[in-house]
Structure 1
Amino acid sequence: MNLANTLRRIALAEPGRPALYEGDQLRHDYGALAARVACLAGALRSQGLAPGDRVVLFMRNHPAYLELMYGCWWAGLAVVPVNAKLHLREAQWIVEHSQARWAFITTDVGTGLQLPGRCIDVEGPEYAALCTGGQAPLEARGTDDLAWVFYTSGTTGRPKGVMLTHRNLMTMGLTYFVDVDSIAPTDAIVYAAPMSHGAGIYAIPHVMAGARHVVPASGGFDPAELFALGRGIGPLSMFAAPTIVKRLVDHAEAHGLDGAAFKTIVYGGAPMYVEDIKHALRVLGPRFVQIYGQGETPMVATALSRAALMDSAHPRHAERLASVGVAQTPVEVRVADAEGRALPTGEVGEVLVRGDTVMAGYWRDAEATAAAVRDGWLFTGDLGSMDADGFLTLKDRSKDLVISGGSNIYPREVEEVLLLAPGVAEVSVVGAPDPEWGEVVVAFVVPQPGRVVDTGELDAVCLEHIARFKRPKRYVMVEALPKNNYGKVLKTELRQRLKDEALKR
């Protein structure tokens, strides 16, 4: 079971079907796309890469992303997608930890990356040459062979490499048709959110269906561009964090637009405020589906369907809007106590997931794997409750993760960097609710005695060591941090202080 066989199948049956667009310009039909993918696979294999080797993609959204995903799989390799917003040092750590042999970059993102093998600019002549050589036969892969290593931050601040197999991703792709949306060959998915994350993974079901794939000319999210693309080439489907949904809705409202440019907007990756989804439904209509998952069970845990979102006559409609829906078809979802025992309806506990989308484990981290997956159940670290109809509502996170604009930010990582700044004695980082981003990072800073801490210097230290999106949006200078008898900082008190301040405004 090789994921690339789904591309080969469509290319053989209907080679002339439109496949890959850059903006509104068709770059390849399925026959040409498969040919380029087979050439890439041939080049990778002929230059020493062997099945199971890892290849890093550190790029902005680009048409080559899809070619490389399937080219690596065609050759039997594993893809290591790296968030284009990460700092070069963070990306370098992932390269070294994953033991990647090669990397493909865009120069605006990956210049300076060091590897034992080659680092290739996808907009340069080296890449063009790789796409025009001899074609490789499709490499046979087992269902449990590695396909994707997704690095998601750990509680220590160091990322963990989630190992996803061909079975994991094939199951995810097939589940899309059952629990998320139907896909016709004439449909088009647009990649406005990072292809290194959920947006890119959703290429899989759309290749299965032989649909069209659209990379915006901007390489990212621009609401005016997306509405224009939808009007020009047909209604678009997309995956979006709630902050992107909000910006789409604001743009539509400001310009008197309806939702005709979109077929389906799948949202997830962060909590969506109930009033925001109500507003989105009013402005853009019945075009939304919510999914809940994690990197460890990609895009598959629960789904809140289009029908449930629109069923305003249901007596518990308000509660359902606040939920993340019901378990998707190939998985079991339960709310459990610390030992993994299922809790009664309505009680709050940790959310557990079991099924064929749950990861094979963390790359080179057996201890973390054993802690996260027990008896086949993934312990998500999220707290929630299940109602009598099977709808899951998330209550809080058991970890201190901050989700800002759909991106995960772990406070300890930011704290460790801020402690490098001159004059900082202690620091504690928490998330504060934000209507646009979901949460923003706030740092409580204790200056050293007699010192005045310059927030500009704090920003500079952050920008030197971590990605820009992880930098605190606000610094609060305090004389001391609240702590318990064991010396542990009471972050709940810090969060409550921020909520109290917000209520007074």
Structure 2
Amino acid sequence: MNPANWLVRTAQIAPEAPALMIDETPRGDYAAFARAAAGIGAALRARGVAPGERAALFMPNRVEFLEALYGIWFAGAVAAPINARLHPREAAWILEHCGARLVFAAPQTAAALREAIGPGGPEIVDVAEDAFAAMRKAPPLPAPAPMTAEDPAWLFYTSGTTGRPKGVVIHAGALMAMTLSYFADVDEVRPGDAALYAAPMSHGAGLYNFMHVIRGARHVVPPSGGFDADEILDLAPRLGDVHMFAAPTMVRRLVDRARARGLRGEGLRTVVYGGGPMYLADIEEAVAVMGPRFVQIYGQGECPMCITALSRRHVADRAHPRWRARLASVGRAQSATEIRIAGPDGAPLPPGRVGEIEVRGPAVMRGYWNAPEATARALRDGWLRTGDVGALDEEGFLTLHDRSKDVVISGGSNIYPREVEEVLLQHPAVHEAACVGRPHPEWGEELVAFVCPAPGAAPDPAELEALCLSRIARYKRPRAWFALPELPKNNYGKVLKTELRRMLAEGRARPLEAPQGDEA
């Protein structure tokens, strides 16, 4: 089904419900939202954008993003959202790769994108200019174009940390499976709730618009257009019943500010976190500071937001005898998804064994855009090979160990950096930590650690090594320690371990030294 039908349905039953907001200021109800999308769809058709063709979005978080997104679907086209923090040349490559006929941009992105594209590229429509206003007011299409479950709807470009990004083809049926699984496994949405878009709408935060459209909830863009912990803590009590999606690094910053200000996240009903590892120490502190507001999901672009979920109850539970193990997991399979752990030969492994995580179900992609070889590597007999390493327990809880490419093999033994990072983050002087492998002439690789100090603290390598020796096997401890003010991250908050390895190879890593005065 075309996702635009969900907007039409809500506009029919709750036309006057507030839909789009900036801060606390309404910018349109559901009737106006649907009318604008239908006009944009008609204007796209008039520009020759036919069903199945691609139209892109390259802008920071704005309410116009949602109007343009649903306008694309009204026309039956495929939406290709692009993270606004990418370089215009990177965005231009994506536009060329997917063959976009038109791209919606904003004042912050339009001019640089025009320069990067040059003559002969797709039409650029700045949503702050008259051309977009005219599209919104065009004679509307009477109904969204028909779409089947197998029709492409959203073209998601991966972060591309190891090369050119790949375009994941998310079909309409996958969006439906993800949306219904949210209601079943993640959270409820009620009329009057508010979706707060602090993470990029081009990715996970934007994918969570559907649930809120279906329920007739509010869609709020904060004044900054992005993530500002103090802004969120101030805005949430005024809005009430706020839902938001956040990367783990955002959760950490939100909790730090709430603790510093003596707040508990009033007004925030649900914070769904995902998109990277949430360390056990961080989520324990988050619940202690802000209460039972957190739900974890695990997904990939290839199975968007829809692999596992760790419920609010499980995140907050401290009574179960295995609550720490559950909290360290990413939860159980969502209702639309099957999970298995596979060995190197592709055969399923029993509970407790570590291997590659594979998933299948209606939310799994059908393939990458114009990349048959990459598709063949990712999909095997209907199962998506995630490239993540993990294990299932007897209750079906999935624990992530690492990306397969990040596993360090030292002297023939596998070392999972995340396990070591979890231990390092238990030290009060450590704010962030990341472990990678570097070449070793005898063992093949050895594990080294990058440590970011907590404010006002000075981590001592001897103390950190002693902590590791008290928690994990001796062979897993880091063999060298390096200091960084903060870890390098991509636009989605994921740690760039490729950059850490590059720093090592180029001799740019600074050793972590013992605090002065500790020699005695």
- Structure 1 length normalisation: TM-score? 0.81
Distance 1:434 1:45 in 2: 52
Deviation digits for residues 333-377 of structure 1, max 9, x if unmatched? 111113332101111000001000001210000111111011110
What residue number does 2:154 align with?
148
Displacement of 1:224 in angstroms is 1.9
Name which of 258, 262, 281 aligns with 2:264.
Answer: 258
What residue number does 2:222 align with?
216
1:124 aligns to 2:129 (yes or no): yes
1:190 aligns to 2:196 (yes or no): yes
Distance 1:246 1:468 in 2: 14
What residue number does 1:134 align with?
139
1:18 aligns to 2:18 (yes or no): yes
Distance 2:312 2:452 in 1: 26
Amino acid at match of 2:155: V
1:360 aligns to 2:366 (yes or no): yes
Distance 1:288 1:330 in 2: 21
What residue number does 2:178 align with?
172
Q: What's the secondary structure of 1:112's corresponding residue?
A: helix
Give the number of the structure with larger relative contact order, counting CA–CA contacts within 8 Å between residues 6 or more apart.
1
Q: What's the secondary structure of 2:26's corresponding residue?
A: strand
Distance 1:226-1:477 versus aligned 2 partners, 3 A rule: closer
Amino acid at match of 1:262: L
Amino acid at match of 1:132: K
Q: What's the secondary structure of 1:362's corresponding residue?
A: coil
Amino acid at match of 2:290: L
1:9 aligns to 2:9 (yes or no): yes
What residue number does 1:102 align with?
102
1:234 aligns to 2:234 (yes or no): no
Displacement of 1:111 in angstroms is 2.4
Amino acid at match of 2:238: G
Query: Contact (CA 8 Å) 1:85, 1:468: kept in 2 or not?
Result: no
Query: Contact (CA 8 Å) 2:239, 2:267: kept in 1 or not?
Result: no
Displacement of 1:183 in angstroms is 0.5
Amino acid at match of 2:55: V
Alignment of 1:22-61 (within 5 A): 22-61=22-61
What residue number does 2:457 align with?
none
What residue number does 1:406 align with?
none
Distance 1:72 1:277 in 2: 38
Q: What's the secondary structure of 1:21's corresponding residue?
A: strand
Distance 1:305-1:38 versus aligned 2 partners, 3 A rule: same
**Greater shift after overlay, 190-199 or 336-345?**
336-345
Displacement of 1:253 in angstroms is 1.1
Distance 1:304 1:435 in 2: 29
What residue number does 1:314 align with?
320
Distance 1:431 1:85 in 2: 28
Amino acid at match of 1:277: I
**Greater shift after overlay, 280-289 or 254-263?**
254-263
Query: Contact (CA 8 Å) 1:249, 1:283: kept in 2 or not?
Result: yes
Distance 2:9 2:453 in 1: 45
Distance 1:313 1:199 in 2: 32
What residue number does 2:402 align with?
396
Displacement of 1:502 in angstroms is 5.6
Q: What's the secondary structure of 2:96's corresponding residue?
A: helix
Displacement of 1:148 in angstroms is 0.6
Amino acid at match of 1:43: A
**Greater shift after overlay, 230-239 or 21-30?**
230-239
Displacement of 1:116 in angstroms is 3.0
Distance 1:479-1:35 versus aligned 2 partners, 3 A rule: closer
Q: What's the secondary structure of 2:158's corresponding residue?
A: strand
* RMSD value, Cα: 2.7
Q: What's the secondary structure of 2:41's corresponding residue?
A: helix
Q: What's the secondary structure of 1:384's corresponding residue?
A: strand
What residue number does 1:486 align with?
none
Distance 1:49 1:377 in 2: 34
What residue number does 1:419 align with?
none
Displacement of 1:74 in angstroms is 1.1
What residue number does 2:355 align with?
349
Amino acid at match of 1:36: A
Name which of 391, 395, 414 aligns with 1:385.
Answer: 391
Query: Contact (CA 8 Å) 2:247, 2:492: kept in 1 or not?
Result: no
1:287 aligns to 2:287 (yes or no): no
Deviation digits for residues 222-248 of structure 1, max 9, x if unmatched? 122212221112131000001111111
Query: Contact (CA 8 Å) 2:51, 2:77: kept in 1 or not?
Result: yes
Query: Contact (CA 8 Å) 1:372, 1:380: kept in 2 or not?
Result: yes
What residue number does 1:66 align with?
66
Distance 1:154-1:193 versus aligned 2 partners, 3 A rule: closer
Query: Contact (CA 8 Å) 1:88, 1:110: kept in 2 or not?
Result: no
Distance 1:145 1:171 in 2: 14
Gaps of 5+ in 2: 408-416, 419-435, 437-447, 455-487, 516-520
Query: Contact (CA 8 Å) 1:326, 1:392: kept in 2 or not?
Result: yes
Distance 2:251 2:86 in 1: 23
Q: What's the secondary structure of 1:266's corresponding residue?
A: strand
Distance 2:128 2:188 in 1: 34
Distance 1:362 1:433 in 2: 36
What residue number does 2:333 align with?
327
Deviation digits for residues 407-466 of structure 1, max 9, x if unmatched? xxxx9xxxxxxxxxxxxxxxxxx9956589xxxxxxxxxxxxxxxxxxxxxxxxx9xxx9
Displacement of 1:110 in angstroms is 3.8
Q: What's the secondary structure of 2:405's corresponding residue?
A: coil
Query: Contact (CA 8 Å) 1:265, 1:287: kept in 2 or not?
Result: yes
State the identity %: 51
Distance 1:123-1:431 versus aligned 2 partners, 3 A rule: farther
Deviation digits for residues 298-338 of structure 1, max 9, x if unmatched? 00101111111122111111111111000000110111113
Distance 1:159 1:19 in 2: 33
Q: What's the secondary structure of 1:276's corresponding residue?
A: helix
Displacement of 1:259 in angstroms is 2.2
What residue number does 2:253 align with?
247
Amino acid at match of 1:210: G
Query: Contact (CA 8 Å) 1:384, 1:393: kept in 2 or not?
Result: yes
Distance 1:503 1:215 in 2: 44
Distance 1:81 1:431 in 2: 35
What residue number does 2:458 align with?
none
Distance 1:468 1:389 in 2: 31
Query: Contact (CA 8 Å) 1:155, 1:399: kept in 2 or not?
Result: no
Distance 1:435-1:362 versus aligned 2 partners, 3 A rule: farther
Q: What's the secondary structure of 1:329's corresponding residue?
A: coil
1:371 aligns to 2:391 (yes or no): no
Distance 1:474-1:348 versus aligned 2 partners, 3 A rule: closer
Displacement of 1:107 in angstroms is 2.4
1:89 aligns to 2:89 (yes or no): yes
Amino acid at match of 2:405: K
Deviation digits for residues 254-297 of structure 1, max 9, x if unmatched? 11111222000000111111111011101110000000000000
- Structure 2 length normalisation: TM-score? 0.79
